[in-house]
């Protein structure tokens, strides 16, 4: 009997302890604070129009404005050579002369035959006037004259091919033959380059192809150079290379400098996608999801999750193409603790003007 009363007493004490303990937890300050917790504090950023552009660096090469491999049009032996390696020559200067004595002799022979044929044609004309010969005989003599003149012209052209001249004013390179050497049309005698003005050649990714056109100004620096140079795009290839997915571009280099040597490597800096009224937000404001990108917009003390389309990106900011308008305030801190439509209190407000 005593044992049963003891058990009942212990059971009653346990029940009272549990009941009073639960009541005390309900009335605890922590629980009360959980029910009355205020809005989440976060930093805000005001979206305003600003200038933005994407910098792209691509490799390039400097080229002479013109470059020509000089070859002989016909085979022959060099009888005169006027190539001072590395010197500058004027347009039309004879650089190499091939043996042409046989052609000169043939030309003289044709010239003598022409003189005789012309006298014969003159006599036949006089005879035709008095009906001394037929019209056909006169026409044949006139035809001989024209044939000889054509032969002389062909021979003169052949003689001109034995003289190799500078096609334009430029600097000659190293010569590959000496006096007395025999050259064929496949042999390169020397190279001439127009180096008083240079060209810059480079390629850009296909997504920027529409942004590069005639007149576009680019900046570049040669390998080992100490200053930036400029070039103006003169032309682009008419299609994108299907293997490299790039567009070839050529530009005319502005100015002259000892750093600029044909053939050197250049690092070309392009300012692409430039916009003077782009809407920018800090990179940390973007919330990537499986299907899209979002930002949290602060509206009437609440957080509104908004889907956006992004554009140009740099180390600090991202361009917003769609989803925001100028004057909107986006939240840039505490993003993981904010839920849709949650109350938010802006503790610090910033903008692009203050950060730049």
Q: Which residues pair with 346 in a beta bridge?
A: 42
In a domain, 17, yes or no: no
- Indicate whether 22 belongs to any domain: no
Angle of helix 135-160 versus helix 101-129 axis, rounded to 10: 160
How many domains are there within the chain?
A: 4
Q: What is the reported pLDDT for 256? A: 79
| CATH code for position 80 | 2.40.50.100
Is 143 part of a structural domain of the chain?
yes
Select from 228, 255, 274 the last residue of a domain.
274
Last residue of a domain, one of 213, 243, 274: 274
Three-state SS sequence of the chain: CHHHHHHHHHHHHHHHHHHHHHHHHHCCHHHHHHHCCCCEEEEEEECCEEEEEEEEEEEEEEEEEEEEEECCCCCEEEEEECCCCCCEECCCCEEEEECCHHHHHHHHHHHHHHHHHHHHHHHHHHHHHCCCCCHHHHHHHHHHHHHHHHHHHHHHHHHHCCEEECCCCEEECCCCCCCCCEECCCCCCEEEEEEEEEEEEEEEEHHHHHHCCCCCEEEEEECCCCCCEEEEEEEECCCCECCCCEEEEEEEECCCCCCCCCCCEEEEEEEEEEEEEEEEEEHHHCEECCCCEEEEEEECCEEEEEEEEEEEECCCEEEEEECCCCCCEEECCCHHHCCCCCEEEEEEEEEHHHHC
Over residues 71-102, the pLDDT tens digits come to 999 999 999 999 999 999 999 999 999 999 99
What is the percent of the chain with per-residue pLDDT over 70, rounded to a whole number?
88
206 and 128 housed in the same domain: no
Among 274, 306, 324, identify where a domain stops: 274
Is 265 part of any domain?
yes
Instruction: Please tell me whether residues 82 and 181 are part of one structural domain.
Output: yes
Q: Do 94 and 104 lie in a common domain?
A: no
Owning domain of residue 94: 76-98+164-187
Please name every residue paired with 29 in a beta bridge, in sequence order, or none if there are none: none
> Which CATH number fits the domain that encloses residue 212?
2.40.30.170
CA distance 254 to 199: 9
Shared domain for 84 and 182, answered yes or no, is yes
- 3 domain residue, yes or no: no
Q: Provide the terminal-to-terminal Cα distance of the chain, rounded to the nearest Å.
A: 87
Q: Are 124 and 204 members of one domain?
A: no
Report whether pLDDT(16) > 70. Answer: no
Choose the weakest-confidence range: 79-93, 114-128, 179-193, 217-231.
217-231
pLDDT in tens, 130-160: 988 999 999 999 999 999 999 999 999 999 9
Residue 282 lies in a domain: yes
What average pLDDT does this structure show over 248-259? 89
What pLDDT is recorded for position 356?
A: 53
- pLDDT given at position 179: 94
Domain-embedded: residue 27: no
302 shares its domain with 341:
yes
Same structural domain, 283 and 350: yes
User: Are residues 135 and 153 both part of a single domain?
Assistant: yes
193 token code pair:
């380059």
Tell me if 14 is assigned to some domain: no
Q: Is the pLDDT of residue 57 over 90?
A: no
Same domain, 170 and 89: yes
270 with 280, same domain: the answer is no
User: Would you say residue 11 has pLDDT above 70?
Assistant: no
CATH number of the structural domain spanning residue 45 = 2.40.420.20
User: Are 171 and 154 part of one and the same domain?
Assistant: no
What CATH number is attached to the domain comprising 150?
A: 1.10.287.470
**228 & 319 share domain:** no
């Amino acid at each position: 009997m005593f044992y049963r009363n003891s058990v009942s007493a212990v059971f009653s004490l346990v029940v009272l302890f549990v009941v009073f303990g639960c009541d005390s937890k309900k009335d605890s300050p922590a629980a009360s604070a959980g029910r009355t917790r205020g809005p989440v504090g976060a930093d805000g950023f005001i979206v305003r129009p600003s200038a933005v552009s994407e910098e792209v660096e691509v490799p390039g090469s400097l080229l002479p404005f013109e470059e020509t491999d000089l070859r002989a049009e016909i085979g022959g032996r060099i009888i005169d050579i006027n190539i001072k390696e590395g010197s500058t020559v004027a347009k039309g200067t004879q650089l190499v002369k091939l043996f042409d004595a046989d052609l000169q002799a043939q030309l003289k022979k044709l010239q003598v035959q022409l003189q005789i044929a012309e006298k014969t044609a003159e006599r036949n004309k006089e005879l035709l006037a008095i009906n001394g010969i037929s019209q056909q005989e006169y026409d044949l003599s006139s035809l001989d004259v024209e044939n000889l003149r054509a032969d002389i012209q062909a021979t003169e052209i052949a003689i001109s091919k034995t003289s190799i001249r500078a096609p334009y004013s430029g600097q000659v390179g190293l010569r590959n033959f000496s006096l007395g050497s025999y050259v064929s049309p496949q042999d390169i005698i020397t190279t001439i380059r127009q180096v008083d003005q240079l060209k810059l050649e480079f390629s850009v990714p296909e997504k920027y192809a529409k942004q590069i056109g005639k007149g576009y100004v680019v900046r570049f620096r040669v390998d080992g150079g100490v200053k930036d140079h400029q070039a103006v795009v003169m032309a682009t290839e008419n299609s994108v290379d299907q293997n490299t997915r790039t567009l070839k571009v050529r530009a005319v280099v502005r100015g002259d400098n000892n750093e600029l040597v044909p053939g050197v490597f250049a690092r070309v800096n392009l300012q692409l996608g430039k916009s003077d009224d782009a809407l920018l937000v800090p990179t940390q404001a973007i919330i990537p999801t499986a299907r899209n990108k979002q930002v949290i917009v602060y509206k009437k003390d609440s957080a509104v999750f908004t889907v956006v389309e992004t554009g140009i990106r740099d180390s600090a900011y991202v361009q917003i193409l769609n989803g925001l308008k100028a004057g909107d305030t986006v939240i840039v801190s505490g993003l993981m603790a904010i839920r849709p439509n949650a109350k938010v209190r802006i503790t610090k407000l910033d903008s692009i003007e203050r950060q730049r």
